[in-house]
């Protein structure tokens, strides 16, 4: 009996072991085969789905904007309907070019720029009383309505003089207006003085004309290369002379005769220029502060001549008046 039991056990045990191992191997292989492709497909599909969503989110507003831009908008301009946005922009640009800029200013603009402030009461000139509104905190206040009226009068005169072909010179040597005068003079192509008034510019024009001719001749020779025949030291001396003359009289190098109109942006500081012009009958247009003498000025503008913003407004307004006159002269020639 014992032998039979042992034989039965030996027979049964290996069968059980084989079946279990085979079943375990099969189940493992099947699970690997079933699970592996699922993981791969999930890994591949996941980024594709996210990328598509992102692309869709970005493209949707772009398409909407393109559709909106494509739709024409009707705009009425002078009783004419225009259905294209680009056409409306072009029409507006053409109208702006055709309109001549107005050489004028307003009381509000001058008030914001501080043009109404005068000097201290102790330093005032009694001849300026009729242009003053009063005083406040020991400082005189200008009547800006009179300032605007005088500005419009000066701009009309400058436009007429420029249209008549008069020689106009801008004069402004103080720190606040120096660069403005230079830029406006170069823009309009007219002579300007922003360093120092050359004594005798009007009364002794012949002598000053020699200085201008010297500057122009040296510049022409340098451009043509005629100064290269001199030594290096002599060439340096010529260069120094040219820079010095350009700094002093460079702005009036194109002036062929004595000026006929002088626009002064500080009549108190430029006393010599005003006196010289008034003695020879040259028209003087200038800004007059509460401490200046208005008598030698033909067309005065009573206002603060120390405020940089106020000076910028006046340079723009007076420069525009001159430009309008020059344009009118060109149209008459045509």
Predicted confidence (pLDDT) per residue in 184-206, tens digit: 999 999 999 998 898 889 999 99
Q: Is the pLDDT of residue 66 over 90?
A: no
For residue 333, the model assigns a pLDDT of 79
For residue 334, the model assigns a pLDDT of 72
Q: What are the two backbone dihedrals, phi and then psi, of residue 275, each rounded to the nearest 5 degrees?
A: -65, -45
> pTM to 2 decimals?
0.68
* Structure confidence by residue, pLDDT tens digits, 116-137: 999 999 989 999 999 999 999 9
Short-list 220, 321, 204, CA closest to 272? 204
Share of the chain above pLDDT 70, in %: 69
For residue 117, the model assigns a pLDDT of 92
Integer Cα distance of 261 and 277 in angstroms: 8
For residue 101, the model assigns a pLDDT of 57
For residue 332, the model assigns a pLDDT of 85
Beta carbons of 149 and 160 less than 8 angstroms apart:
no
Integer Cα distance of 248 and 112 in angstroms: 35
Q: Is the pLDDT of residue 267 over 80?
A: yes
> Distance of CA 133 to CAs 144, 291, 302, Å?
8, 15, 11
CA angle 187, 192, 198 (to 5 degrees): 165
pLDDT band at 16 (very low <50, low <70, confident <90, very high): very low
- The residue with greater pLDDT, 333 or 84, is 333
For residue 7, the model assigns a pLDDT of 52
Integer Cα distance of 300 and 285 in angstroms: 6
For residue 325, the model assigns a pLDDT of 93
For residue 104, the model assigns a pLDDT of 76
SS3 content of the chain, % helix, strand, coil (to 5): 65, 10, 25
* Structure confidence by residue, pLDDT tens digits, 96-120: 334 445 667 889 999 999 999 999 9
Place of tokens 């079943």: 23
Q: Among 66-70, 168-172, 286-290, where is mean pLDDT lowest?
A: 66-70
- The residue with greater pLDDT, 24 or 175, is 175
Q: Is the pLDDT of residue 15 over 90?
A: no
Arithmetic mean of pLDDT, 251-258: 92
Integer Cα distance of 202 and 295 in angstroms: 19
For residue 158, the model assigns a pLDDT of 95
Q: Is the pLDDT of residue 43 over 80?
A: no
Q: Buried (b) or exposed (e) across 139-171, using 16+ Cβ within 10 A?
A: ebbbbbebbbebbbebbbbbbebbbeebbbbbb
> Distance of CA 288 to CAs 1, 139, 172, 277, 279, Å?
144, 16, 13, 16, 18
Q: Residue 114: is it exposed, middle or buried by C-beta count within 10 angstroms (0-12/13-18/19+)?
A: middle
């Amino acid at each position: 009996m014992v032998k039979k039991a042992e034989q039965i056990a030996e027979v049964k045990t290996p069968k059980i072991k084989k079946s279990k191992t085979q079943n375990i191997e099969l189940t493992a292989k099947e699970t690997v085969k079933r699970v592996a492709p699922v993981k791969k497909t999930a890994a591949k599909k996941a980024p594709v789905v996210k990328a598509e969503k992102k692309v869709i989110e970005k493209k949707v507003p772009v398409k909407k904007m393109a559709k909106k831009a494509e739709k024409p908008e009707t705009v009425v301009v002078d009783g004419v309907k225009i259905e294209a946005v680009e056409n409306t922009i072009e029409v507006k640009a053409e109208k702006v070019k055709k309109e001549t800029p107005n050489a004028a200013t307003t009381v509000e603009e001058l008030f914001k720029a501080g043009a109404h402030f005068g000097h201290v009461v102790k330093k005032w000139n009694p001849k300026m009383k009729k242009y003053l509104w009063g005083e406040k905190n020991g400082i005189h206040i200008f009547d800006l309505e009179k300032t605007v009226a005088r500005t419009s009068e000066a701009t009309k005169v400058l436009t007429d003089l420029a249209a008549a072909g008069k020689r106009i010179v801008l004069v402004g040597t103080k720190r606040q207006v120096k660069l403005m005068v230079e830029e406006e003079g170069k823009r309009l192509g007219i002579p300007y003085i922003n360093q120092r008034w050359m004594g005798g510019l009007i009364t002794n024009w012949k002598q000053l004309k020699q200085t201008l001719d010297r500057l122009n001749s040296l510049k022409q020779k340098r451009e043509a290369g005629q100064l290269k025949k001199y030594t290096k030291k002599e060439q340096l001396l010529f260069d120094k002379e040219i820079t010095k003359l350009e700094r002093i009289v460079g702005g009036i190098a194109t002036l062929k005769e004595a000026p006929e109109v002088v626009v002064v942006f500080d009549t108190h500081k430029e006393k010599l220029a005003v006196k010289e012009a008034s003695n020879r009958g040259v028209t003087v247009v200038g800004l007059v502060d509460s401490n200046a003498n208005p008598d030698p000025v033909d067309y005065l503008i009573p206002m603060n001549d120390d405020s940089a913003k106020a000076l910028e407004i006046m340079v723009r307004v007076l420069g525009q008046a001159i430009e309008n006159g020059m344009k009118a002269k060109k149209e008459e020639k045509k």
